[in-house]
Structure 1
Amino acid sequence: MSEMLIDHTRTAFENKFGAAPEVMVQAPGRVNLIGEHTDYNDGFVLPAAIDYSTVIAARRRADRIVHIVAADYTCAEDQFSLEAPIERRDEPMWANYVRGVIRDMVERGLPLQGFDMVVSGDVPQGAGLSSSASLTVAIGRLFATLPGLEDVRPIDIALAAQRAENNFVGTRCGNMDQIISASGIAGHALMIDCRSLETTPVPIPAGAAIMIFNSNVQRGLVDSEYNTRRRQCEAAARHFGVKALRDVDQAMLDARGGGLDAVTLKRARHIVSENARVLAAADALGRGDLARMGELMAASHASMRDDFEITVPLIDQLVDIVRNVIGSEGGVRMTGGGFGGCVVALVPDARVTPVRDAVTKEYTGPNGMGATIYVCKASPGAGVVPA
């Protein structure tokens, strides 16, 4: 988390409200090392929280008015009362993420009161690093500082944030992004069982860096295609007579998959094989076996390209550039919903500069843009920023 971001948010609050904030909270973005589109299939994922965050500076009010200032949107404002029904707005869209979490907490009978707050963040937007989950979890974490909410757990905040996106904003996302933002552990990825919500910390090997490459390919199809993929997965689960594709293994797929149409079979094959890869990856990463992790990440990318069909040529090219530099010493794959966005790599520290140089030299994205490169640390989940 950037000290510059903290200072910027604090200063913006002081300039707007004429006093220092009483409390500051943060919630990180995330990158998913492996396990794509498995979360809404009740499967397994292996994300890490990253050191890019949403920060909120706030003070409690004596009334039940919530007043939000978005420092990153020319200090645009939203204000509403906790005494009245919290309605969805047509514009600005960012306000609905805030309103959705607060409405969920109100509906659950939590003792909320008003806040003045300024929100700012450095999670890249539109890149698949979960700036929206970072925002919603940060809002939940702020309200969890109120008296009477001491028993609100990270998982409670994560699920409130997911419900806000599902039921208020209208995005049918799974729960991975919110859980890792709320519950991340420094120096570790988390293997998340998206059905039981059990999390298992998996250490990132010493001497390995997480590199993220924003292709700058805008993910224009991601919402409609995401919902299409979800419907296809649900249809496949119904064919097998199970709650979700989490319950289908390779043997069942081989035995009964012939009853599916060709496209739905490919979608199911990705989910079934990806769940197996996540379990194997958690084991490999825990043992510090970057070579095995690299094999699994390569297989994941091929499955997303060929079976789930969510990569695009520039993403495939970017993956190839990185793989040509790191060889068997690490791994690289597309990460996120697909159709653009980011590539993630686990790279030995000694290879960070050669990888950066190769991508800078060899990759050209839309309109002549190169890739935006981030070198990240696995970071803690949401919390109060120390004074």
Structure 2
Amino acid sequence: MKNGELTQAHTLAFNQAFNQAFTQAFTQAFTQAFGQEPALVAYAPGRVNLIGDHTDYNLGWVLPVALDRGTLVAASQRDDFQIQVVARDMDNEQVSFSLDDQAMAQMPLDSVSPWSNYVRGTVKMLSAYLAETGQPPLRGASLMITGNLPKGAGLSSSASLEMALIKAFAGLFDLKIDGIKAAQLGQQAENEFVGCNCGIMDQLISAMGEAERAMLLDCSDLAINQVALPRSLSLMIINSNVKRALVGSEYNLRREQCQKVAQYFGVSSLRQVSYKQLCQAEASLEPTLFRRARHVVSENARVLEMAEALSAGDSARIGRLMAASHRSLRDDFAVSTPEVDCLVALVSEVLGMDGGARMTGGGFGGCVVALLPEHKIAEVRETIAAEYQARTGLTADIYLCHSGAGAFA
């Protein structure tokens, strides 16, 4: 952050995410590590997806919300061409690498400090973009990273880090990078360097989210429509504490399965396949592939209906759509877990027609998102405390969140 340059929405989002004592301790830690105060502190939020999972890389619709939690990157310029990074939340683990052309071209994955691969990948893609567009190359920087997103919970801590890094470099070196390009570079870092074939949703909502709004994003052309969230419903995120690891999981397999169905229809993505077309081809498709595609095609329709339900403040309709989305992810796309199913069932039983709950994110663990009236919050908390550990052996972490602003520095 630079004094005097924050909008009211940015200031509110930042104050919701981090208190003054936290940020003061962070900047003091940077000064102690590098012998100078940071020139700036960049922030980017995590996200929760209300509905529309595994539709983004199929060029469909998604409906995420930027959270009032995220990642901070404190940064200062260096006199050399080294990137030095300290991960405050990893016991101040330090990593450094060179920006010279050979080092960038041959940069390996870091198996010792895997978190640094998101830094390395982002810097590599940003450097290539600057070269392509004729902008001056990056120079060295000292960086410190911290945040308050639970790691491995499906709230896009990696995308948040990527967007905060790009904002930090843009601020340090006066780079011309808009939100869409920043999101594309972050996605490229994950796809081409880290090895996770994610879509662009996570990066784009982190870069361009708006407070009190969900982002209806058309992933085919990146058209954005901001949808007001109902004031009558609160946003709750429940971490199942089943840790996710999308790289090396079945996430990439799901993408391959969707591509096979698109190839069967002779189109580039499942966005171009209608529900009627898919059902007519059911007998010709391998059953697993049919189910994967059925989730994507039906989920796209649910996203558009959910945007209407949010605008109308129709909590019963919201609940029905979230329930249908969860069933589809569980049964057709097979990315839920028994623990996450348990949480969804517990919350849904309490809510009835007053809102809804579903798994959120890539799956294989992680979080449940719920939209619920304030008067149901205490009962949901009590029910989870009483039942979840008894049924699964795990404890759940519950976060009441607000929608926040996108990345800034």
| Among candidates 112, 115, 130, match of residue 141 of structure 2 | 115
Whether the 8 Å contact between 2:45 and 2:69 is mirrored in structure 1 is: yes
Whether the 8 Å contact between 1:216 and 1:366 is mirrored in structure 2 is: no
Instruction: List aligned pairs for 1:163-202, cutoff 5 A.
Output: 163-202=188-227
**Structure 1 segments of 4+ aligned residues over 4 angstroms from their partners:** none
Does the C-alpha gap of structure 1 residues 203 and 212 become closer, same or farther in structure 2, counting only changes over 3 Å? same
Does the C-alpha gap of structure 1 residues 57 and 191 become closer, same or farther in structure 2, counting only changes over 3 Å? same
| Among candidates 31, 41, 55, match of residue 14 of structure 1 | 31
Identify the residue that residue 46 of structure 2 maps to in structure 1: 29
| Among candidates 37, 46, 61, match of residue 78 of structure 2 | 61
Identify the residue that residue 92 of structure 1 maps to in structure 2: 113
AA aligned to 1:50 is L
**Structure 1 position 75 matched with structure 2 position 92:** yes
Classify the secondary structure of the residue corresponding to 2:139. coil
**Structure 1 position 292 matched with structure 2 position 309:** no
Whether the 8 Å contact between 2:63 and 2:307 is mirrored in structure 1 is: yes
AA aligned to 2:259 is E
Does the C-alpha gap of structure 1 residues 94 and 41 become closer, same or farther in structure 2, counting only changes over 3 Å? same
**Structure 1 position 276 matched with structure 2 position 301:** yes
CA RMSD of aligned residues (A): 1.6
Query: Quick one: distance in 2 between partners of 1:286 and 1:338?
Result: 27
Length, aligned pairs only: 383
Whether the 8 Å contact between 1:47 and 1:180 is mirrored in structure 2 is: yes
Instruction: List aligned pairs for 1:239-254, cutoff 5 A.
Output: 239-254=264-279
Instruction: Note the alpha carbon deviations across 1:326-354, whole angstroms, 9 max, x for none.
Output: 11110100111112111100111221121
Classify the secondary structure of the residue corresponding to 1:340. coil
Identify the residue that residue 8 of structure 2 maps to in structure 1: none
AA aligned to 2:166 is G
Query: Quick one: distance in 2 between partners of 1:43 and 1:279?
Result: 10
Does the C-alpha gap of structure 1 residues 367 and 275 become closer, same or farther in structure 2, counting only changes over 3 Å? closer
Identify the residue that residue 6 of structure 2 maps to in structure 1: none
Q: What is the deviation of 1:222?
A: 7.2
Q: What is the deviation of 1:199?
A: 1.3
| Among candidates 23, 29, 41, match of residue 58 of structure 2 | 41
Query: Quick one: distance in 2 between partners of 1:166 and 1:378?
Result: 27
Query: Quick one: distance in 2 between partners of 1:342 and 1:13?
Result: 32
Q: What is the deviation of 1:296?
A: 0.5
Higher deviation after alignment, 122-131 or 213-222: 213-222
> Percent sequence identity over matched residues?
47
**Structure 1 position 238 matched with structure 2 position 255:** no
Q: What is the deviation of 1:249?
A: 1.2
Classify the secondary structure of the residue corresponding to 1:19. coil
Classify the secondary structure of the residue corresponding to 1:36. coil
Query: Quick one: distance in 2 between partners of 1:358 and 1:49?
Result: 27
AA aligned to 1:2 is F
Please report the TM-score for the alignment, with normalisation by the length of structure 1.
0.95
| Among candidates 355, 362, 371, match of residue 396 of structure 2 | 371
Q: What is the deviation of 1:147?
A: 4.1
Classify the secondary structure of the residue corresponding to 1:329. coil
Query: Quick one: distance in 2 between partners of 1:248 and 1:6?
Result: 48
Q: What is the deviation of 1:358?
A: 1.2
Instruction: Note the alpha carbon deviations across 1:151-177, whole angstroms, 9 max, x for none.
Output: 310111111111011111111111111
Whether the 8 Å contact between 2:75 and 2:172 is mirrored in structure 1 is: no
Unmatched 5+ stretches in structure 2: 1-16
**Structure 1 position 141 matched with structure 2 position 176:** no
Whether the 8 Å contact between 1:314 and 1:365 is mirrored in structure 2 is: no
Please report the TM-score for the alignment, with normalisation by the length of structure 2.
0.90
